Structure 1
Amino acid sequence: MNPVNPVNSGSSGSSGNGGGVVRTAFAAAGPAPGADADPITTEIVRQGLNAAADHMKRALTRTAFSPIIYEALDFAVAFYDTDMCMLAQAPTLPAFMGTLGFCVRAAVEGVGGPGSLAPGDVILYNDPYGTGSHPQDAAMVVPVFAGGELTAYSVIKAHWLDIGGKDPYSTDTLDVYQEGTIFPGVKLYDAGRLVGDIYRMILANSRMADMVIGDINAMVAGARAGGEALAAIVDRYGKAEFTACVARMYAHGEALVRDWFAALPDGVYTASGAIDSDGVSGVPVPFSVKVTVEGTRIEVDLTDCPDQTPGPINCPLPSTVAACRLAVAFLAGAGEQPNEGHFRPLDVLTRPGSLFHPRRPAPCFMYGIPADHAIELVLAALAEAVPDVPAASGGDINALVWWGEREATGTPWTDGAPHPVGQGASPRGDGAGALMYLSQSATRLTPAEVWEARNPWRIERMALAEDSGGPGTHRGGPGLDLSFRCLEDHYLTSALARTRTAPWGRAGGHAGRPGGLTVEHPDGTVEEHALRTRIPLAKDAVVHLRTGSGGGFGPPSGRDPQAVQADLREGYITEEHARRHYPHAL
C-alpha cells in the first residue's frame, strides 16, 4: 500500500552537518488498487473507521486527568494498517497526524518488529526523532488482531505534563537529553500484563506522576477501545473485503488530490522567511521553501535552510513531513477526513543535519516553530498559482506553560495551552478572529472557569484585540488579548515564536500585528518576553498575552464602507484606525 519510504537521492553539495538530500515519498501508484471493491461498501467501511477513531478520541477525553488533553485536545488518535499507512483519524491535533506513521513504525521496530507482538500488547514510544516531537508528546501503540492475524495499529499520541526534562517546558535546551526521559519503543503491557519496571520508571521521572499516570491509563484505554472497534469492522466484512475497500479508499483520496494539482499551472514557486530566534542565540534563523508543481505531483524542497541549530527549534523529519502534509491538506483536501491516499502525490526533500532534518542529539523541544513557519511559507509560495490562498495568519500557537507548588499544600502543579490567533483574509472575505493556528486547529481554548478552578490565576481580560487585524478590502482576523493575574508565586515558560515578523497581507492588503508577551511585576518593573524558560512570577504579577492577527487582502481603499461601519459598531476597530486606513468610509 505504498508506505512512507525515505530515499537518499544523492549529494546536495551542502556543507556543515548536511551530506545529501533525502526524498520522503510514496512509491508511484500502480493500477487502480481495489477497483473491484464495491463503492458503497467502501464508503461504509470508511465512515466506520472514522467513527471508530472518534470513539477512541471520546474514550480518551472522558478519562484523561489533564486539561491539556480533555479541554485543549492536545493529542491525536488514528489507525494505521500494517504498512504504516493511515486508515483513519479523528479530528484532533493536526500537527501530530502526519507524524504517526513514522511513530508507529519506530515503536514496533523498537520491540523487535511485528513478529514480537501479541494481543494485549501496548507499546510506549516517545523518542523525538521518531515521533517528530518533544519527549512530552508520547505515543501508545496497540496492535490490532482480527481472526488471530495482525491487521492494524491503534495509536494515540498525547502531551504529558512532565517527563523529567530540565524544566516542564523548555525553550533553551542544548541537546535532546535535557528535554525529557526517552522510551525508545518498550512494552508497557506485554500480552495484557502491565510491565511493572516500565511503570515505575515513568513514576520516577515525572514531577507530576499522579497526573501523568492518570493520562497514561486514559491513553491505554482509548487505544484499546479504538482497536476493538476497528477489529469489529474487519470481522464484519472479512479480511479480504476489508483490504480491498481500504485500497479503493486510498485510491479515491489520491485521485482527489491529484485532480486538484492537475488544475494548477506547472512551475517552481518559492517563498522565504525567518524564525525570530533559536531560543539560545537570539539571532533570526532565515530559510526558504521551493514548491514544484508538475502534472499531478507536488514536491516541497526544504533543503535551503541552515544547519541544525544550537537551540531547540530543530524540526525532526516526521514533523517536517507533517507540516508539508498539512499545507497540502489545507489546499487540496476538499474538507474530507484524510487517509494515506491523500498524501501520495506529495514528495518532501530535506537535508540531513539541517534545521528540517536534524541529527541526534540536536535539541528539538520547540520543533513546532519551524514546522508552523514552513506551513505559512508553503502557502505563500503557492499563492502565485492559487488565487484563493489567504494572507498570513498569526502563524504561532502562542504556547504558555505554568508550574510551581501550591501555596497551601506544597503540591506540585503545572498547566499549559496553545492560544488562538487571527486568520488571514482571502478574496472571499475577512479572516476569522481568534482561532487556533492551522497546526492546532482541532484544539480548544480552555475555558477561563476551568483555568481559575485548577490554577492560581485570575483571568482579568480575554478579548478580541481592537485594530489588530491587517487592513484591506477584506481585513485580517483579530488576535486575542489575555491578562492573567498570579495569585501565588510560580514559574512560566513563554514559547512565543512570531514577535518580530508581522503577518503579511496579500494583493495590497496590510500586515497584521505580531504576537507579544508582557509581564508586570509587583515592584512595577515591566518585561517583554518571547522564547523564555522559567520566568519567575511573584504573587500579583500580571501576564499580558497578545496573540498575532491575520493579514489583510486587497487594498484598504476597496473595503465596503458598510463593512467598515459594521466593524466600528462591533468594536473590531476604533474610529482612529478607521480614519487612518479607511477614510473613504467616513
Structure 2
Amino acid sequence: MTEPATTIDRRTLDLIENALLNVRFEMDEVVRRAAMSPMIREQHDEFPMICNRRGQMVVGQFGSYIPGVVEHLGGDLAPGDVILFNDPYLSQGSITHLNDWCLVLPIFHEGHHVAFSSMFGHMMDVGGKVPGSQVNDADSIWEEGIRIPPVKIVEGGRLNRTALDVILNNCRAPEMNESDLMALIAGCRTAETRVQELCDRFGVGAFEAACDALLVRTRDAMAQLIRRYIPEEKVTFTDQVDDDGRGNGPFDIVLTLWREGDVCHVDWTGTAAQAPGPINFRINEGLCKLFFGIYLIMAFDPEILFNDGVYEVFDVTLPEGTVLNPRFPAPVSNRLNVHVRFFDCMSGALGQRAPDLAMAAGYGASPYFVFSGEDAEGEYFQFVELLFGGLPARARGDGLDGHSWWPLFRTTPVEYAESHHPIRVRRYAPVLDGGGPGLHRGGAGVDKEYEFLSDGVFSVNDDRTLTSPWGVAGGRAGGRGSKHLVRADGTEVPLPSKFDALAVRAGDRFVFRTAGAGGWGDPLERPAERVRQDVSDLVVSVAAAEAEYGVVLGADGEVDGPATEARRAQLREGRPPLAAFDFGPPALPAEVFRRPA
C-alpha cells in the first residue's frame, strides 16, 4: 500500500473522511429519488463507492475492481466519461450477476485525474429466458440475460444512445432500466461534484493524502483485529447450500482460517465443484477480502472505516472450478445462496475458538419473488420483490426478525405493491417459532401470503428449506423455509424453494415462508419475562415457550413463576451437555418438494 505522500493533520483528515461518508449517503439518496423500479426506489438494492485515482475504494460498500475495468478500455479516460458493465467474467467477479449494472466515473479536477465514483444497482430485468432474469434452471450464463462488457455509455459528456438502445432492446422493462441507469449516473455525478469541491477547499494534495491515510489507518486497525481474534492454528468449518435449482445438491462450502503474523489466511479448498445450476458465486479475490474485513469490523469494532486498506492483511485461496470461483460460462444469477454461506462459514470457523464472539447461522439466502403477465388493460407488468428472513443471535443479543442481511435494504411497502401491480398481500408476519431458541433468540423468518389478481407466471428462489440455520453455544437451530400454492378451489400444492415461471390464475394464493436464524446460548437461561414478551409478539408459541424455554404461562398470559422453575429443573435434569453447534434435524431429501406438472 502507498503511504501518504503528503502529511496531513488529524483535523483535516477527519473533515475529509466525514465529508466523503456524507457524499456516500448523498449518492444513495439521489439514486433512490430518481430511480423508477421498486428494486432500487423502494428496496434500496444499490451500492455506492468513492475511490482514489488508483481505483482503491476509500468509502463505499463493495470493493474496488476499477483497475481491471480501466485496463479493459486501454486506460482511455477523459472528463465526462461514464463506463457501464455487468459481466461477472469480464469484471473478475466484482459484479456477481447480470442484473447488477455497474457504472464507473473518472473524476477530474482542473484537468487532473483525482478519483473515481462508482455505483451499481439491481435492474429489474435484463433479458434471459424468464421474467426477472434470475433463472433457476439455467445451465449457462447465456440464458441469464444480456452481457455488457465495459463500454463508455457516456463519452465526453455525450450519451452513447446507440449502445444504450441495443442494451435496452434486450430487456423486458426498458423504461425502468433506463430510468434506473440515469439515476445511477446522477449518483456518480453527485460524488464528482463533491470531490471537486473538496479539492477546491483543501487542495488536491491534501485530498489525495487523506485518501491514502484512510487506507493505511484501516489496514493498521484490521491488523490489530486479526491478531486479537484469528487463531494461529487452522480451524475449518463446513456448511451447505441446499440445491442449485436443477435438482443437484447439497453443495459443501468449506472454509479454513488461520493467522500468520498480521495476515489472515482464508482458504476455500474443499468447497464443492461448480454447480450445473445458477448458484455459482464468481467472487473477486479483493471482494472476498473486503467481506472478511467487513465481518470483523461489524462484529468487533464498527467504528473502523471499511475500505480497500483491508487487502494487505488477507491472503485468499479460491480454487478454480468451484461454486466460489466457477469457470466461464457457468450460470451465476442466483449466487447469493452461496454468498450468504460465506458469512455463516466465517462465523462457524471463528466460533470454534471463541464461541462468545460467534454468531449463529442466518436465513441463508436472498429470497426473491417475481410475478409477471398482462393486466386487465393488456399491459405487460412485472413485480419483483426481495424478501428477508431471520438474522443470527449472538452474544450481544437476539437476532432481528424479518430483516435483510444488507443493513440498508428495505421491504417493498404493501401499498406500493398493490397500487402498481395486480397483487394483494393478505398476510405479512413473522414465522411463529421460526427463530432458534437460545439465551438470545434467533430472528424469525417472514410469513408472507400473496393473492394473484390476474393470470400470470411467477418465479421464486430461496434456500434453507432442506437444511437448518444452526445455533451456537447451546442455542438451537432456527426454522427452515417453506413454500406452497393455494389454488382458488382450496387445493394446496407444496413447492420447492427454487422454480421458474409457474402458471397461476386470478384467485390463486402463494405462501412464502423464509427461514429463521439459530439461537445463541442456553434457552433455559433466557429471562422468563423475555419469553412472555416473545409469545405476546407472536414470534414464540405458548407450546414452544414451555417445551424449549421451560416457561409456563398462565391463563392470563403471565409467567407462572413456580411452574416455570419446576419445568426448567425438569428439562435440565438428565439432558446432555450443550452442543457447540446445533445443526437441527437431519436434512430433508430434495424429493420432498417438487414443482407441480
Tell me, yes or no, whether TM beats 0.5: yes
CA distance in structure 2 between the partners assigned to 1:165 and 1:159 by the alignment: 15
Name the counterpart of 2:55: 84
In the alignment, which of 279, 283, 307 is matched to residue 245 of structure 2?
279
Task: Provide, for residues 328-376 of structure 1, a one-character-per-residue CA deviation record: whole Å limited to 9, x for no partner.
Answer: 3433452444222244322221112222111211111112111111111
Q: Secondary structure at the match of 2:34?
A: coil
Q: d(CA) in 2 for partners of 1:581 and 1:132? A: 43
Report the AA paired with residue 463 of structure 2: A
Deviation digits for residues 8-52 of structure 1 (CA, Å, limit 9, x no counterpart): xxxxxxxxxxxxxxxxxxxxxxxx646832111111111111112
State the match for 1:153 in structure 2: 116
TM-aligned CA deviation for residue 417 of structure 1: 2.5
Question: CA shift at 1:124, angstroms?
Answer: 1.0
Partner of 1:448: 414
Q: Decide whether the 8 Å contact of 1:123 with 1:142 is kept in 2.
A: yes
Correspondence 1:337-356 to 2 at 5 A? 337-356=305-324
8 Å CA contact retained: 2:528, 2:551: yes
Q: Is the 8 A contact 1:508 1:555 kept in 2?
A: yes
Q: CA deviation at 1:188?
A: 0.9
2:45 equivalent among 61, 74, 97? 74
Matched residue type, 1:489? D
Give, in angstroms, the shift of residue 322 of structure 1.
5.2
Supply the AA of the counterpart residue of 2:254.
S
Q: Paired residues, what number?
A: 543
| Consecutive unaligned residues in structure 1, runs of 5 or more | 3-31
Say which is worse superposed, 335-344 or 246-255, in terms of deviation: 335-344
Residue pairs, 1:14-53, within 5 angstroms: 33=4, 36-53=7-24
The AA in structure 2 aligned to 1:299 is H
Q: What RMSD, in angstroms, separates the aligned Cα atoms of the two structures? A: 1.9
Once the two structures are overlaid, the 10-residue window that deviates more, 501-510 or 386-395, is: 386-395
Residue of structure 2 equivalent to 1:111: 73
| Corresponding residue for residue 527 of structure 1 | 494
* Amino acid in the other structure paired with 1:84: G
Whether the 8 Å contact between 2:459 and 2:500 is mirrored in structure 1 is yes
CA deviation map 1:457-491 (0-9, x unaligned): 11110112222211122221222211111111122
Please give the residue correspondences for 1:548-567 in structure 2 after superposition, counting only pairs within 5 Å: 548-567=515-534
**What CA distance in whole angstroms lies between the structure 2 residues aligned with 1:246 and 1:401?**
41
Q: What is residue 125 of structure 1 aligned with on the other side?
A: 85
Matches within 5 A, 1:358-377: 358-377=326-345
CA distance in 1, matches of 2:301, 2:110: 34
Q: What TM-score does the superposition give when structure 1 sets the normalisation length?
A: 0.89
1:328 aligns with 2:296: yes
Structure possessing the higher relative contact order (Cα contacts under 8 Å, 6 or more residues apart): 1
Deviations 1:43-83 (A, max 9, x none): 11111111122222111111101111011011111111232
C-alpha change, 1:64 and 1:392, in structure 2 (3 Å) is: same
**In structure 1, what is the Cα distance between the partners aligned to 2:517 and 2:488?**
33
Change (3 A) 1:429 1:221: closer
Instruction: Calculate the TM-score normalised by the size of structure 2.
Output: 0.87
Contact kept in structure 2, 1:471 and 1:510, CA below 8 Å: yes
In structure 2, the residue matched to 1:539 is 506
CA distance in 2, matches of 1:569, 1:413: 39
**1:239 corresponds to which residue?**
204
| Residue identity opposite 1:248 in structure 2 | A
The residue correspondences of 1:217-228 to structure 2 (distance < 5 A) are 217-228=182-193
1:504 pairs, out of 470, 475, 480, with 470
Q: Is the 8 A contact 1:314 1:363 kept in 2?
A: yes
Task: Tell me how far apart the structure 1 counterparts of residues 238 and 507 of structure 2 sit (CA, whole Å).
Answer: 42
Letter in 2 for 1:492: F
Give the Å deviation of 1:320. Answer: 4.6
Identify the residue that residue 20 of structure 1 maps to in structure 2.
none
Q: Which amino acid in structure 1 is aligned with residue 128 of structure 2? A: G
Residue 288 of structure 1: aligned partner:
254
Indicate whether 1:179 and 2:148 are aligned. no
- Number of the residue aligned with 1:394: 363
**How far 1:415 moved relative to its partner?**
2.5
From 136, 141, 146, the equivalent of 2:99 is 136
Quick one: distance in 1 between partners of 2:365 and 2:504?
Answer: 23
Q: CA deviation at 1:436?
A: 0.7
Question: In 2, are the aligned partners of 1:496 and 1:530 still within 8 Å (CA)?
Answer: yes
- Among 435, 441, 451, the alignment partner of 1:469 is 435
Q: Which runs of 5+ in 2 are unaligned?
A: 553-563, 565-597
The SS at the match of 2:256 is strand
1:132/1:315 contact within 8 Å kept: no
Any conservation in 1 of the 2:531–2:551 contact (CA below 8 Å)? no
- Percent identity reads 29
